[in-house]
Amino acid sequence: MFAVIRQTMAVSVDKPSEVEAAEVWLTANRDALTYAEEDGGCGCCVRVWKLEGPAEVLATIPYEVSACSSWDTA
């Protein structure tokens, strides 16, 4: 059994490297997550995702797109 945690990921849309890092990470890890929703952020300048899944998977979120919010449990 694995520990399930919640974590937030956020990017500035005017920073292509952040957008790419988030999209690559989501593509590679979406199947391992128990919940993934793009939620929050206006979309014109910031995109925010609420994520839930195994701690060992969420620990691999790239530093530059890792964020924190009231959603987080870790």
**Fold topology of 4-67:** Alpha-Beta Plaits (3.30.70)
> Per DSSP, which regions of 1-74 are E strands?
4-12, 35-38, 46-54, 66-67
Chain length of the chain:
74
- Quote the radius of gyration of the chain (alpha carbons, Å): 12
**How does pLDDT run along the chain (74 residues), one tens digit per residue?**
679 999 999 999 999 999 999 999 999 999 999 999 987 777 789 999 999 999 999 999 999 999 999 999 96
What does the DSSP 8-state code read for residue 69?
-
The predicted pLDDT at position 41 comes to 78
Domain range list for the chain: 4-67
